A and B are shown apart, each in its own frame.
Chain A
C-alpha cells in the first residue's frame, strides 16, 4: 500500500505541473515584469531585420522594436531573451506562450489575425513580394518566368502568393519548398532554382550575402502586399496595446523630431504640448497601458525614433530607400495614430 501512496503523490505532482503549464497566466505584462526579461521571437537571420552581428549581438529593425518594448516595460533595452524562430513556428511560439512577442517579418493577414490565436499590433514595415533571378538568364519581367523553378521558404505568405501568381498568370512554376530561408537561398545560389522569392526588402538584404551579388537581379514586379507587424497572443488587450503604442510612439517621435540624442533635452525644454505628453512631462499616457510616464522616453533614448532605426538598420547597411515606409507628411504611408 505504501508504494501506491507514493505513486499517488507523484501523480498529483505531475498533474499540478500540467495545470501550471497548460493554464497560461492572463497578464503578459505581469509575467514579463516578474521574469525581469522579455522573450522575443526573431528570425534565424535576416540582415537588416534580425540578425546576430559579428559579436553575437542581435541587430535589426525587428530587434530594435523588441528593445524599445523592453526599455518601455522593464526600463532596460538589454533585458531580452531572443528566440530565433523558423517561419512556420513564428505564430505558434507566441500563441503557446513560448515567447511574449514575435517580431519577425510577419505579414498581417486576416486569417492569422482571426483564426490562429494571434493579434497583430502595428505595421513596422510595408513590404511586398518580389523575385530575384540570375542576370545571365536574361529575363526582365516576372511574366517571362514560365516553367521556372522557384526556391521558397515554407510556412510563409510568399509560398501561397507564388502559387496564386503562377495560377493567375498560367506560368507553371515549380516551387521547391525549404524549411529555412538559408536552405532555400543556398539551393537558389547553387543553381537548383532559377528564381528566389521572398519579400523585396529581404531580397535586397539576402542578395548581399551571396558570393556574387552583382550577377543577380531583382525583378521590378511586386506581386503582393506584405504589411509586416509584430504579433502577440490573442486575448491580452493590455499587452497588445503596449506593443502597438510603443511602435506608434516611435513613429510619432520621428514626426516631432525627437531623437535618441535630444529626447531628454526636449523633455526639459520643449514647449510643444504633444512632445510634452509623448515624453511624459505632462499628462499620464503611461498609466493608460499600465506603465509609468517615462515609458516612451526610455524607448526613444535606447533605440531612437523610427527614422533612426530605419536609417541604422536598412539604409546604411543594405541601401534600402525609405520608399513607402516614409512618413505620411513626406510622401510615404506611415501614419501613426496620435498620442493623446
Chain B
C-alpha cells in the first residue's frame, strides 16, 4: 500500500500536476501584481486629492461640440458628451468601412487587371497611401480642402440648395410630410417581395432549369414600388435649403470639413490595404482552375461566383478583419483635424476634469467592444464562405 506522502510525491512528478501548480502560481502573481498597482494608484490619487470613480459622468459638461448625431448642448452631462463622441466614432468608422471596402475591391481587382494603365494606377494608389502615415494624409487632405475651397460668403453653388465652401458641404434637408410613412412601408414591402421572389425563382430554376434575371427584377421592384407610392401620394416630402445668414449657413444637412477629411483619409488609407488583401486573395486561386473552367465553357460570371470568389475570400476576409479594426482605431487621429470623436471629447474631459484613468479605461472598453463585435461578425462571415470539405 502506498503512503500518502509517496502519492503526493508521485503526483508532483506527474507533469500535468506540476504544470498546474506552476500556472496557479503565475496566475496568483498576476492577480497580486494588479491588485498592488491598483492599490498604489488609488493611494496616490487620494494623497493628491484627485477624485476617482465615475460620478463625474453625471455632472454638467460645459464643453462645446460642433458635430453631434444626437441632441447636445454644453448643459448636458459629461456622460452625454462622451456618448456623442462614441457615436461620432462609430458613424465615421461605419461609413468609412463601407466605402473603403468598395474602393478596396476596385483597387485590388484593378491591380490584377491585364490592362497596363489600370494595374499601374492601382499599384500607384496602393504604394502611395500605404507608405505615408495616415496622420499626414489627414492633415494634407484637411489643409488642401481648406486652402482650395471658396470662403463661406462666396460658396460654390453647382445646383440649387447645394453649397460647397470652407464651412463644409451643405445639402438640402428632406422634410417628410404626412403619408411619407407609407413610402417607407412600401420600401420595406418591396424588399420582402424581392426576397420571396428570389426564393421562388431559385426553386423554379431547380425544378425546371429556367433561370430568371433574379437580381435585376428584385432591384426594379425595390426602386419602382416606393417611387410609385411616392408619386401616387402626391410627393409627401419637401426640401429645406441651406441659407447663408450672417457668418454661417443655416438649415440643410451639412458635411463638415473635419468629418469629410477624416472620412476621406480613412477610406483612402484603408482601401489601399484592402486592395492588397483582395489582390492576394485573387492571386491565391491557382490559374489552372480558371483555365479548366474556361475549357469546360463555364460562363465567366459563374467562374467568378463559383470558382474564384469562394477561394479568394477565405484569404481576403481574415486580413480584412484586421484592416477594419485598424480603421476604427485610426479614427482616433480625428483630434488632429478637429473632428469631435471619442478620443477628442474624452481628451477634453480629462483636461477639464483630471480623471484620466477613468476616461482611458472607457476608451479602451469602447474600442475593444467595437472591435470584438467586428471580429465576431467577420468570423461569422468567414465561416459562411469557407469551403466545406467533403
Proximity bits, A154-181, B CB within 8 Å = 1, else 0: 1110011011101100000111111100
CB–CB B352/A155 < 8 A: yes
Complex Cα–Cα for A321 and B152 (A): 36
Is A87's CB within 8 Å of the partner chain B?
yes
Is A36's CB within 8 Å of the partner chain B?
no
Is A19's CB within 8 Å of the partner chain B?
yes
Is B331's CB within 8 Å of the partner chain A?
no
CB–CB B348/A163 < 8 A: no
CB–CB B62/A88 < 8 A: no
Is A22's CB within 8 Å of the partner chain B?
yes
5 further A-B pairs in the complex, CB-CB below 8 A; given A163-B64, A190-B146 = A15-B33, A95-B50, A116-B353, A160-B62, A184-B338
Complex Cα–Cα for A22 and B35 (A): 13
What are 8 residue pairs bridging A and B, where the CB atoms are less than 8 Å apart in the complex?
Answer: A15-B33, A92-B356, A95-B48, A149-B248, A154-B344, A156-B351, A164-B62, A174-B248
Given A163-B62, A192-B166, A192-B257: A22 and B338 within 8 A (CB)? Answer: no
Q: Which residue among A11, A23, A184 has the maximum number of chain B CB atoms within 10 Å of its CB?
A: A11
The A/B interface has a contact count, at CB < 8 Å, of 157
CB-defined contacts of A95 to chain B, threshold 8 Å: 48, 50, 354
Question: Which 8 pairs show the lowest CB-CB distances between chains A and B?
Answer: A155-B351, A116-B354, A117-B48, A175-B64, A88-B351, A163-B74, A117-B50, A190-B146
Proximity bits, B45-78, A CB within 8 Å = 1, else 0: 1011111000000000011111000000111000
CB–CB A18/B166 < 8 A: no
CB–CB A117/B49 < 8 A: yes
Is A216's CB within 8 Å of the partner chain B?
no
CB–CB A176/B66 < 8 A: yes
A125-179 CB contacts (< 8 Å) to partner B: 137, 145-149, 151-152, 154-156, 159-160, 162-164, 166-167, 173-179
CB–CB B44/A24 < 8 A: yes
CB–CB B37/A177 < 8 A: no
CB-defined contacts of A174 to chain B, threshold 8 Å: 66, 248
Is B247's CB within 8 Å of the partner chain A?
yes
Distance (Å) between the CB of A167 and the closest chain B CB?
6
B332-378 CB contacts (< 8 Å) to partner A: 335-338, 340, 344, 347-348, 350-354, 356
CB–CB A115/B51 < 8 A: yes
Is B147's CB within 8 Å of the partner chain A?
yes
Proximity bits, A176-197, B CB within 8 Å = 1, else 0: 1111000110110011101000
CB-defined contacts of B143 to chain A, threshold 8 Å: 186, 190
Partner among B47, B66, B152, B340 whose Cβ is within 8 Å of the Cβ of A235: B47
CB–CB A147/B246 < 8 A: yes
CB–CB B36/A147 < 8 A: no
Is B113's CB within 8 Å of the partner chain A?
no
Is B29's CB within 8 Å of the partner chain A?
yes
CB-defined contacts of B289 to chain A, threshold 8 Å: none
Complex Cα–Cα for A45 and B25 (A): 51
Proximity bits, A1-32, B CB within 8 Å = 1, else 0: 10010011001001100110011100000000
Is A91's CB within 8 Å of the partner chain B?
yes
Complex Cα–Cα for A166 and B167 (A): 19
Given A19-B40, A116-B354, A160-B62: A176 and B50 within 8 A (CB)? Answer: no
Complex Cα–Cα for A145 and B246 (A): 9
CB–CB A191/B146 < 8 A: yes
Given A7-B26, A112-B354, A116-B50: A177 and B336 within 8 A (CB)? Answer: no
Complex Cα–Cα for A191 and B248 (A): 12
Is B258's CB within 8 Å of the partner chain A?
yes
Is B245's CB within 8 Å of the partner chain A?
yes
Q: Which residue among B245, B258, B352 has the maximum number of chain A CB atoms within 10 Å of its CB?
A: B352
CB–CB B40/A146 < 8 A: no
**Which residues does B use to contact A, with CB under 8 Å?**
18, 22, 25-26, 29, 33, 36-37, 40-41, 44-45, 47-51, 62-66, 73-75, 143, 146-147, 151-152, 166-167, 245-248, 250, 257-258, 335-338, 340, 344, 347-348, 350-354, 356
Complex Cα–Cα for A4 and B29 (A): 12
Is A312's CB within 8 Å of the partner chain B?
no
Q: Residue of A at shortest CB range from B257?
A: A192
CB–CB A179/B347 < 8 A: yes
CB–CB A23/B40 < 8 A: yes
Is A79's CB within 8 Å of the partner chain B?
no
CB-defined contacts of A194 to chain B, threshold 8 Å: 247
Q: Residue of A at shortest CB range from B248?
A: A147
Q: Residue of A at shortest CB range from B33?
A: A15
Partner among A8, A18, A115, A164 whose Cβ is within 8 Å of the Cβ of B49: A115
CB-defined contacts of A281 to chain B, threshold 8 Å: none
CB-defined contacts of B356 to chain A, threshold 8 Å: 92
CB-defined contacts of B340 to chain A, threshold 8 Å: 177
CB-defined contacts of A146 to chain B, threshold 8 Å: 246-247
Complex Cα–Cα for A137 and B10 (A): 89
CB-defined contacts of A115 to chain B, threshold 8 Å: 49-51, 353-354
Is A240's CB within 8 Å of the partner chain B?
no
CB–CB B63/A159 < 8 A: yes
Q: Which residue among A24, A95, A114, A166 has the maximum number of chain B CB atoms within 10 Å of its CB?
A: A95
Distance (Å) between the CB of A218 and the closest chain B CB?
18
Q: Which residue among A11, A137, A177, A178 has the maximum number of chain B CB atoms within 10 Å of its CB?
A: A177
Q: Residue of B at shortest CB range from A148?
A: B247
Given A23-B40, A154-B344, A177-B344: A160 and B352 within 8 A (CB)? Answer: yes
CB-defined contacts of A233 to chain B, threshold 8 Å: 48
Complex Cα–Cα for A184 and B250 (A): 23
CB–CB B350/A88 < 8 A: yes
CB–CB A92/B257 < 8 A: no
CB–CB A117/B335 < 8 A: no
Complex Cα–Cα for A22 and B335 (A): 29
CB–CB A147/B247 < 8 A: yes
CB–CB B48/A235 < 8 A: yes
Partner among B18, B64, B146 whose Cβ is within 8 Å of the Cβ of A192: B146
Partner among B29, B44, B338 whose Cβ is within 8 Å of the Cβ of A183: B338
